[in-house]
Chains A and B, each alone.
Chain A
Amino acid sequence: MRVTVIVDGVSYSDDVEPRLLLVHYLREHLGKVGTVVGCDTSNCGACTVHLDGRSVKSCSVLAVQADGREVATVEGLARDGRLHPVQQAFHDNHALQCGFCTPGMIMQAVDLLADDPDPDEEAVRAGLEGNLCRCTGYQNIVRAVLDAARRMSPGAGPEAERLTDEAAQVTHVAGGGQ
């Protein structure tokens, strides 16, 4: 089947098997290996990407379901050499160790902050419940998301990912203190 999909701002069109998972399309067809696979039961969230601006587990989406839609991955978050504020906050707060869960965790955190730009600790913990990490005990991940919320207000989410100069400018200002 033919799919046409925009991934991190670039348009792709491919013939794929109907059963092909979006995460395998990203990794094996497009070489977008920044998004990883951590399980086969959609529990771990390592493969989290954004589909039309909302987080999905890309192991639970078929490539054909992304036809005509826009996918954002961790590879597309940084703009013009500047990290997204959530990426910066993960770095600043030591929110990663081995880093395998990090792409999914960052994409989920961006989505969480789009929903709730000013979450408390409990809301962050609940919002990350679908993403597993074995290294950090989540403590610094929670800290990083709260820190990112402070840096980004008002709101990140889809606005921060739009490929416009204006949005990039917003990201830059919000991410100040790098």
Chain B
Amino acid sequence: MTAAVEAEVGRARRRKEDARLITGRTRWTDNLTLPGMLHLAILRSPVAHARIAAVDTSAAEAMPGVLAVLTGVDLAKEQGSMGCAWPVTPDMAAPQHPAMAVDTVRYAGEAVALVVAASAYQARDALDAIDVEYADLPVVLDVTRALAADSPLVHPEFGSNRCATWVFDSAEAGTGGETAPAIADAEVVLRRRFRQQRIIPAFMEPRSVLVDPTGDQVTMWSATQVPHILRMMLAATLGLPEHKLRVIAPDVGGGFGGKLQVTPEEVLVLLAARRLGRPVKYTETRSDSMLSCHHGRDQFQDLTLAARPDGTITALEVELLADLGAYLGLLTPGIPLLGAFMFNGIYRIPAYRFTCTSVFTNKMYTDAVRGAGRPEATFGIERMMDELAAELGLDPLEVRRRNWIGHEQFPFTTVAGLTYDSGNYEAATDRATELFDYQGLRREQARRREQDDPTLLGIGVSTYTEMCGIAPSKVLGSLSFGAGGWEHAAIRMLPTGKVEVVTGSSPHGQGHETAWSQIVADRLGVPFEDVEVLHGDTQISPRGMDTYGSRSLAVGGVAVLLAADRVLDKARPVAAHLLGCAAEDLDFAAGRFTARGTENGVSIQEVTGAVFAAHDLPDGFEPNLDAQATFDPENFSFPHGTHLCAVEVDTETGAVKIRSYVCVDDVGTVVNPLIVDGQVHGGVVHGIAQALFEEASYDELGNLTTGTFADYLLPTAADLPHLVTDRTVTPATSNPLGAKGVGESGTIAATPAVVNAVVDAVRHLGVTDIEMPCTPQRVWRAIGGGA
């Protein structure tokens, strides 16, 4: 029987997922062992650009436990070319992308040979016995020189290192004016070049893939964010029949965009397993991962902002130079373009032009990392707003107020052509400044400067929005993206009244099992504990577009809600039949249909049981309450918020310490505040990490010099402040849940807030920018240290 249930949506439910994760009973891919399973290891190129002159595998083949050693030549006929799903322009240069290099390596870390052996140790031992002779080719590493006529070429067949040039112009699009005259006429014109350094996603679970070939069926377990996309792309890449391929994403230990990829490793393990007719597993080491998991960001941004003396913006021009690395991954060329729609931020800008030139270099390819294009854009505009404030002697919050979209102006179509459905920037900013003690900190900042305090205080502002809930399929189509942006859900009503929810979203830490249970428990009026959420297996969940772009709740969660509504629609005539009334005379609340005005009722579980028995149903009723729904949103959703950061800068060492951090985010309807706060914490720290700690660096030969966690600095608990978080709630109007998405907002907002704070601390010393990460050395040099 159904008890009256407290509303689940909005409740801080502790997570269902935790039970297995806190007890060590988790199913990571690398935890799986199959009978007869073999282990695969990959030999990676130690050079950035070379012809493979010769490979001698004979010694490796003779090593103990080794079953096979394969090179790119061995696999050339069957490996196909790794797919890129986003041909951004008709003339985009799309090079062949072999899973394993056949005759040329184009980045350090590219796979050149593999070993399959009885144990993982034996496989790795045998790598050392493979002899590869490389004939070095000149390397292209500096993206700013890669388009010079005399530059070496990563892919000579294109005659240039240019991949694509993509332009958005508001005058051409009809969404605004021309930028050139606006800039020519402007009284204030600011030009800045900002650097978005290359970063590494650094999910904690190294990628792992296990393939079990049984007859013509192939089952793949992979630590992926995208089992459905992976299945489809593997079928396309290798010419496999899709229906013979099952992909399972078991427990996945974080992704941050890094597992939104179809990887050479997945292809190679599949090919090796098929050749040997045995299960084969590959689990990368962290050092492998740093080299061969796609990187992110890596662009130069040239911004020109025109304004009136009162701070009103009149035009914005953006020229991006994006370093794509050596090949195109799944979404590589499209990632910088996601920024095209976000550089205008939350502001009313009358004229806008965006140009992105993307370029090949001899580095690991870039692709989505948490935020994917939007953190870069938000960084650019939010840094620029602080620069404008400084130029005009205005408070950075005031210059924003003079330009942002007022809460009464929604829905608002931006100069980039998006329609922001809802928002309240004033409310979020008011709340943030109150929590932050903005005025008090400004006074302290002035005092420290006056007293020549060696520790200076800086305050950084970031008032961001983002487009998430990716995405309306029509919009993706207009951007030449290779797929739609819908999401699927199914609900299965079990005879005992329990409920199975099948989702096409594929979680890797987000807590779908909990949040989806809350949505369904509320809608169907069943206990939270009675709902089981199934995901991440193409056999169980055959349709899905997976998890990225803060889309799970705003698209996948809505599909779940719609499927639940369809269950109720099917149940209603049965309930009416059982109660002897007309369907339109039924009320439904707290899991119970009642005949209006009476005490006569029947629970959803009782209806389910009656349908299962099928003894007494309305004439012609198909005995099945299960339902499915596919939701394709009409619009993106637009979370927003105000982040304020105070830093202390030690002028003697250049060290930056975050003194306080306040964020007030508006992510629309909150299903589970515990989960939302957790996403904000992690997102903000990811942004702080880019601002202060992380950078993937290559030396002049193209060696990755940050190839381990000893060199690539993830912040630790000791490096970080306690974050103050709060929310305003302005529901999205683009979906019936009112949810906007929260997975990326912190990362999008935090980076400019922190860098603005660092620059603000030392601006009176003549500093207008410090490249990320703002390490002690960079800060110290910026303020004249060592000069």
Question: Among residues 23 to 78 in chain A, which have CB atoms less than 8 Å away from a CB atom of chain B?
Answer: 24, 27-28, 31-41, 43-44, 46, 73-75, 77-78
Question: How far apart sit A37 and B723, CA to CA, in the bound complex (Å)?
Answer: 29
What is the distance, in angstroms, from B648's C-beta to the closest C-beta of chain A?
Answer: 16
User: For this complex, into which size category does the number of interface residues on chain B fall?
Assistant: 35 or more
Pick the contact of B21 from A31, A46, A92, A96 — CB < 8 Å?
A96
Contact A35-B24, Cβ < 8 Å, known A91-B18, A98-B509: yes
B17 contacts A129, C-beta separation under 8 Å: no
CB pair A99–B682 under 8 Å, yes or no, is no
Interface residues of A in 93-144 (CB under 8 A from B): 94, 96-103, 106, 121, 124-126, 128-142
Digitize B248-261: 1 where CB-to-A-CB distance is under 8 Å, 0 elsewhere. 00011110100000
Question: Of the candidates B22, B30, B33, B682, which one forms a contact with A136 in the assembled complex, judged by CB atoms under 8 Å apart?
Answer: B682
B22 touching A98, Cβ below 8 Å = no
For B285, give the chain A residue with the smallest CB separation: A40
Cross-interface CB contact of B14 among A37, A41, A92, cutoff 8 Å: A92
Given contacts A134-B204, A135-B509, contact A100 B717 (CB under 8 A): no
A90-B254 Cα distance, complex, nearest whole Å? 18
Binding site for A on B (CB under 8 A): 14-15, 17-26, 28, 30-31, 33, 119-121, 202-206, 251-254, 256, 285-287, 508-511, 674-675, 677-679, 681-686, 708-710, 714, 716-718, 720, 722-723
9 further A-B contacts with Cβ under 8 Å, apart from A94-B14, A135-B509, are A27-B31, A34-B24, A41-B710, A91-B15, A94-B677, A98-B203, A99-B253, A100-B205, A100-B253
Asked if B202 and A36 sit within 8 Å, CB to CB, the answer is: no
- Given A44-B286, A132-B709, A136-B678, does the pair A102, B22 have CB atoms closer than 8 Å? yes
Give which listed residue, B22, B681, B717, B720, contacts A91 with CB less than 8 A. B22
Would you list the 5 A-B pairs with minimal beta carbon distance, nearest first? A34-B24, A99-B21, A98-B509, A100-B253, A137-B685
Q: Kindly provide the distance from the CB of A172 to the nearest chain B CB, expressed in whole angstroms.
A: 16
- The answer to whether the Cβ of A170 comes within 8 Å of any Cβ in the partner chain is no
Q: Given A97-B254, A99-B22, A138-B717, do A33 and B204 touch, yes or no (CB 8 Å)?
A: no
- In the complex, the chain B residue whose C-beta lies closest to that of A121 is B722
- Pairwise interchain contact A41-B22, C-beta atoms closer than 8 A: no
Residue contact B682 to A135, C-beta cutoff 8 Å: yes
Q: Please, how many angstroms separate the alpha-carbon atoms of A32 and B681 in the complex?
A: 31
Question: With an 8 A cutoff between CB atoms, is A3 at the interface?
Answer: no
Residues of A within 8 A of B256 (CB): 134
B residues less than 8 Å from A135 (CB atoms) = 204, 254, 509, 678, 682
**How far is B18's CA from A87's CA once the two chains are assembled, in angstroms?**
9
The complex places the Cα of A15 from the Cα of B330 at a distance, in Å, of: 45
Between A and B, 25 residue pairs with Cβ closer than 8 Å are: A28-B119, A36-B31, A39-B708, A40-B285, A46-B204, A74-B24, A77-B23, A90-B22, A91-B22, A94-B678, A97-B511, A98-B508, A100-B203, A100-B204, A126-B718, A128-B716, A128-B717, A129-B716, A134-B714, A135-B678, A136-B678, A137-B682, A137-B686, A138-B717, A138-B720
Q: Are A38 and B509 in contact (CB under 8 A)?
A: no
With contacts A34-B25, A125-B717 taken as known, whether A99 is within 8 angstroms of B17 at the C-beta atoms is yes
Nearest chain-A residue to B284 (Cβ)?
Answer: A40
Q: B681 touching A36 by the CB < 8 A rule?
A: no
Given contacts A91-B14, A140-B681, contact A98 B720 (CB under 8 A): no
- Roughly how many angstroms separate A137 CA and B19 CA in the complex, as a whole number? 21
Chain A neighbourhood of B714, CB < 8 A: 132, 134
Which A residues lie within 8 Å of B681 (CB)? 136-140
Task: Check: A167 CB closer than 8 A to any chain B CB.
Answer: no
CB pair B682–A41 under 8 Å, yes or no, is no
> How far, in angstroms, from A20 to B125 measured CA to CA in the complex?
13
Known contacts A41-B710, A87-B23; A134 and B18 CB within 8 A of each other: no
Chain B residues near A132 (CB, 8 Å)? 204, 709, 714, 716
Q: How far apart are B269's CB and chain A's nearest CB, in angstroms? A: 18
B286 and A140 contacting across the interface, CB-CB below 8 Å: no
A139 and B686 CA atoms in complex are apart in Å by 13
One of A87, A94, A137 near B675 (C-beta < 8 A): A94
> Is the CB–CB distance between B15 and A137 below 8 Å?
no
Q: Does A17 contact B (CB under 8 A)?
A: yes
Judge whether B121 and A17 touch: CB under 8 Å: yes
Q: For B33, list chain A residues within 8 Å (CB).
A: 31
B717 partner residues in chain A, CB cutoff 8 A: 124-126, 128-129, 131, 133, 138, 141-142
Q: Are A97 and B678 interface neighbours, CB within 8 A?
A: yes
Please give, as numbers and ranges, the residues of chain B lying within 8 Å of A100 by CB-CB distance.
26, 28, 203-205, 253-254
A6 interface contact, C-beta 8 A: no
Q: How far is the CB of A60 from chain B (nearest CB, A)?
A: 13
**Residues of A with C-beta under 8 A to B678:** 94, 97, 135-136, 140
Shortest CB-to-CB span from A144 to chain B, Å, is 10
Contacts of A74 in B (CB 8 A): 22-24
Are A34 and B26 in contact (CB-based, < 8 A)? yes
Q: Which of A33, A39, A140 contacts B24 (CB 8 A)?
A: A33
Contact call A98/B718, Cβ cutoff below 8 A: no
What separation, in Å, do the CA atoms of A46 and B684 have in the docked complex? Answer: 22
Q: In whole angstroms, how far apart are the Cα atoms of A100 and B251 in the complex?
A: 9
A124 closest partner in B (C-beta): B717
Shortest Cβ distance from B76 into chain A, in angstroms?
31
Measured between beta carbons, the chain B residues less than 8 angstroms from A83 are 22-23
Main secondary structure of the interface of B (DSSP, over half): loop
Pick the contact of B28: A36, A97, A121 (CB < 8 A). A36
Query: Which of A24, A98, A138 contacts B253, CB < 8 Å?
Result: A98
Q: A34-B23, A137-B723 are in contact. Are A41 and B204 (CB under 8 A)?
A: no
- Pairwise interchain contact A41-B709, C-beta atoms closer than 8 A: yes
A8 → chain B closest CB, angstroms: 10
Residues of A within 8 A of B206 (CB): 37-38
- In angstroms, how far is the closest chain A Cβ from the Cβ of B247? 19
A129 to B714 CA separation, bound complex (whole angstroms): 11
Report the bound CA distance from A99 to B21 in whole Å: 5
Residues of B within 8 A of A20 (CB): 121
Are A44 and B722 in touch, CB under 8 angstroms?
A: no
Compute how far the CA of A56 lies from the CA of B709 in the bound complex, rounded to whole angstroms: 18
Q: Would A33 and B28 count as touching, CB distance under 8 A?
A: yes
Which B residues lie within 8 Å of A103 (CB)?
24
The answer to whether A78 and B18 touch across the interface, beta carbons within 8 angstroms, is no
Alpha-carbon distance between A83 and B18 when the two chains are bound, in angstroms: 12
Residue of A nearest to B203 (CB): A134
Q: Which residues of B contact A78 (CB under 8 A)?
A: 23
Chain B contacts of A38 at CB under 8 A?
204-206, 286
Residues of A near B710 (CB, < 8 A) are: 41, 43
A138 CA / B204 CA spacing, docked (Å): 14
* B716 contact set on A, CB distance < 8 A: 125, 128-132, 138
Please determine whether A97 and B682 come into contact, CB atoms closer than 8 angstroms: yes
CB-CB nearest in chain B for A35 = B24
A90 smallest CB distance to B (angstroms): 5
Q: Please determine whether B28 and A134 come into contact, CB atoms closer than 8 angstroms.
A: no
Contact A137 B205, CB 8 Å, known A73-B24, A74-B23, A97-B678: no
Residues in B whose Cβ lies below 8 Å from that of A106? 22
Give Cα A38–Cα B679 distance, bound, in whole angstroms.
21
CA distance A141 to B720 in the complex (A): 12
| A39 and B288 alpha carbons, distance in the complex (Å) | 10
- The answer to whether residues A134 and B682 also contact, given A91-B22, A94-B675 and a CB cut-off of 8 A, is yes
Chain A positions within 8 Å of B683 at CB level: 137
Bound-state Cα–Cα, A132 to B710, Å: 12
Chain A nearest CB, measured from B38 CB (Å): 13
Could you say which residues of chain A place their CB within 8 Å of the CB of B30? 33, 36-37
For B509, the chain A residues whose CB sits under 8 A away are: 97-99, 135
How far apart sit A178 and B205, CA to CA, in the bound complex (Å)? 29
| Set A40, A87, A99, A124: member contacting B26, Cβ < 8 A | A99
Chain B residues within an 8 Å CB radius of A34:
23-26
* Nearest opposing residue in chain B for A86, CB measure: B22
Residues of A contacting B204 in the complex (Cβ-Cβ under 8 angstroms): 38, 44, 46, 98, 100-101, 132-135
